[in-house]
Chains A and B, each alone.
Chain A
Amino acid sequence: MAILSAGVLLAVFAPIFGDPYATPVDGLTPTGLPLGVLTSGHPLGTDSLGRDMLARVAFGARASLEIAFISNITSVGLGVMVGLVAGFYRGWVEHALMRITDVFLAVPTVISGLALASVLGTGVIGISIVVTALYWAWTARVVFGETLALRRRTFVEAAIAMGAPGRTVIRRHILPNLASLIATIAAFNGATVVAVGSGLSYLGAGIQPPTPEWGNMLAEGQGAIDYAPHLLIVPLACVVLIVFGFVLIGESLSRRGAVSLQRSWLDI
C-alpha cells in the first residue's frame, strides 16, 4: 500500500520536480554525457538529452499509473460483470459469454496488444482499452467459476425460491461473497497491467517519446547501459516497485484464503 501511495503521490505532484522536456544548459557533462545520480540540482541525474530524470520519472508515473489504474478498474469490472451474469443466469447466456471469454483467453497477449495498439492509437486511453481487452477474460473466468459454486449454496437457492429477482440476489448475496476474491484479483491484475502497459511502450507501441513513460524510458535507457546505467535502473526500479506493491497486496489477500496464485495471470 505504502509503495503504491508513494507512486500516486509522485504522479500527482509531478510538476514540482520540474519540467520533463526542459534541456537545461547544465544538463550534460562537458563531453556531452548524461549527468550521473546525485549531481547537484539533479538528484537522479539527467538523460542523454540533459533532461532531469526525476522530473521525467515523476511525469512517467502519471502515464504509467493512469494506464494501470484505468485498465485495472475496467478489466476487472468487465470481467466481474461477464462472470457474474454468465454464472448466475446460465443457459444460452452462459454459453455465449463463456465462448467469447475463451476466444480472448486463446489469443496471444503481446502480439494482439501490438495489433490492437496500432488500431486504437497510442494515447493513455487507447492503451488502457488495449490492456482491458487483453485481460478482462481472466477475471471473467475466475468470477464465473466462483459464481457457479455460490449459486448452489443454500442461502442463494433460498433467496431464489423466495422469488427475489435476479438482480437483487446478485447484489445482496453473491457480490458480497465475491468481494475478497475480486480484491485479490484486482491486486494481481494490477501487477500484470503495469508490466504489460509499460511493456507495450517498451516495444514502441504504447506512449511515444518524448512523452515520458516508464516503458519507453526503459527502452531508451537500454541503449545507454554502458555509460549511464541510471537511465535504465531508475525507470526499471519504478516499474518493479509498483508491480511489487501490487503483488504484495495480492499475496497478503490470498493468504487470507481468497484465491491462490493464477499461473497465467502474470504471464506476458
Chain B
Amino acid sequence: MTDTPRISVVMPTWGQGNFIRRALESLLAQELSDWELVIVDDGSPDDTAAVVEPYLRDERIRLHRLRENGGLGAALNHGLGLVQAPFVAYLPSDDIIYGDHLESLASCLDAAPDAVLAFAGVKHEFRVPGKGVLFRGTTTGEIEGYGLQLVQVMHRRGEERWVERDELTTDDLDRMFWSKLRTRGRFEGTGTMSCEWVDHPEQRHKVVREPLGGINPYRRRYRVRRPLRFHTTVGNHTDEVEHYRRFRERPDTPFAPDGLRILLVGELAFNPERVLALEERGHRLYGLWTPDGHWFNTVGPVPFGHVEDLPPDDWRTALRRLAPDVVYALLNWEAVPFAHEVLGACDDIPFVWHIKEGPFDCISNGTWPQLVDLHTRSQGQVYSSPEMRDWFGTVLPEVAAGGRSLVLDGDLPKREWFEAGRSPLLSERDGEVHTVVPGGPIGLEPDLVGALAREGVHLHFYGDFHRGQWGPWVAEVQAAAPGRFHLHPQVNHERWVSELSQYDAGWLHLLRSENGGDLRRADWGDLNLPARLPTLASAGVPVIQLANEGAVVATQSLARKRGLGLFLDEPASLARELRDPVRMAELRESVWGQRSFFTFDHHADRLVDFFRHAIGAGR
C-alpha cells in the first residue's frame, strides 16, 4: 500500500497464538477498511508467528518480531515508530472489536478537532476461575478501577512514547502513556459500546498487579533478565536496579577447587540475595524456579546475578546434563508442588529440602502429601526452627529418627545490610521510650498501645499504612495514643540499621500461644521465626513479645536463650523495664553483639557442610 491509510492499528502480542486469530478476524470484519496493522510480537515463545503467517498476505498487515521480550511499552513504541496514519488505534491480541469500532472512533476524532484521544464503550465480562461465575459489565468510558484500556482507544499520532521497562513496569496505562496525551488535548467518548476487553487469567495486567500478580510472577512469565523497577496501581514501589547494584556489578567468584555445583530449586522468598553467600565461597549456583507462587516469592532470573538458570521448558534434560552435586530445594509452601516434581526427577542427585512457611499451609491447600514426600525421600531436611523440627518429629517420627536434619532459618538476610553504623537513640533526645513495629502490627491492640502511651512509651509503625488493610487500626491507635503514635514509610534493607537503631525495642508478632507445651497443639505462630526478627537484630534492637510461659514458641525460646529481648506480661511492668536504662543498654549490646548470627553468611559454611554430608550419604 502506498497511500497513507486513515488509521494505524498497533497490536502488541506475546504468547497468544490461540487468541490472536480472534482479534485479527474482528479487525478484518471492520466496516471501515482503510487501516494498516502493525503486529509487534514481543518475543513470543509459542507459535504466534506461524498463526499470523497466512494473514500477512493481506498487504495492510505487517508483523515485526522482537527477539527477546522487551515489555509492553517497548513493543508499543516499536509499533508507533513504524506507523503512518494520522490516527492510531490499539488492538491487543486477546481482545476483539465490533464491526463499527474503528469507524465510530475515527468519526469521533474528526468531529472533535480539539480532542487528542477518543475512547469507545467497552464490554467486559468479569469471570472468576473455578467458579464459572460471570458478571457482565459494559461501560461507555473507563471500567471502574482499571482506567482506559488499549482496545477502546484511538488517538492522534504524535511524538509521545510509552514508558518502557528500564524506567518502570506497571499496569497503570495512564502512567505509561495516557497522562502524556492529556497534556495535549481532551479525551472524547464515542458513547457507544464497540469492543470487548476480554477477561481471562493470562491478561497482562493480572500478572502485573498484586496480590495475584506482582514482580516475581511478571519476571517469571516474560523471563526478564534485568532487575526491575516495578510499581503497580495497588502495590509498593520496588527498585531492584539500585537495590541489587553492588551484588550484580561485582565479578563472579572463581570456582573453588572443592566447590559444589548447587542447583537451587523453588523460590528464594524475601531475602533472595542471601544465596550469594554460597557463591562467594566458591560454589556455583544454578536456578530452577517454581512456576507458581506469589509476588513475594523471589524466583529467577534473579536480579542480583551470579546464578545461572536452567531452561524452564526442558528442565529435565538440562538437569540430567548439568548433574549438579546437590539440589537445594526451598522454601515456602508455594514451592512444594514444583520441588516435589523435581525430587521425582532426581534419581541419582542428592536432594536437600529446606522448609520455612509452612506445614499448616500445605495441609490446608492440599499439598501435604507432597510435603511428606519431600521429607521422607530427600537426603537432608533443613528446618527453620528447632520447634519446627520437633513438630515434624511428632508427625513423621521416622524422619526425625533419621538424623539427617539441620536447623537454619531459611530466609536470613545477607550480611551487607548489617554494615551501616548505628544512629543515636530517640529516647536520649526526649527521655521517653520509643518502640518500633517494622511491618504488620499483629496483635498490637489499640488498648495496649494506649496503655503503653500513658506510660510514656511511643510506637513507631513502618509500613503501607495508607493502603487498606491497617487503615482502621491506624485510626484507632491514633485515638488511643495521641502524640505517641508515629507513622513512617516502609524502610528498605539499605536503611535498616540507620533507621531502626534509633529505637529502644521492636515488636515481634504478639501471639498468645495455646499449646501449653504440647507440640501437637502448636500453630504456625508457635513454630515461626518471622522475617522481622533478623530485621530488628540487624540494628541491634531488642525484641518484645508476649510472655508465653509453659508454651513451645520458637521466638520465645530463641530470645530467652540468647538474651534478645523483653516479654510482655502486662503493660506497666513492660514500661518499667523499657525505662530501665541499665537493663536496656545491656540488652541492646547483647543483641548488637550477636547480630551476625542473624545473617545468612554466618551459617553458610554449616549449610555447605550439611550438603557435603548429604552428598556423602548418597541416594
Q: Is A bound to B?
A: no
Question: Residues of A with Cβ closer than 8 Å to B?
Answer: none
- Interface set of B (CB-CB < 8 Å, partner A): none
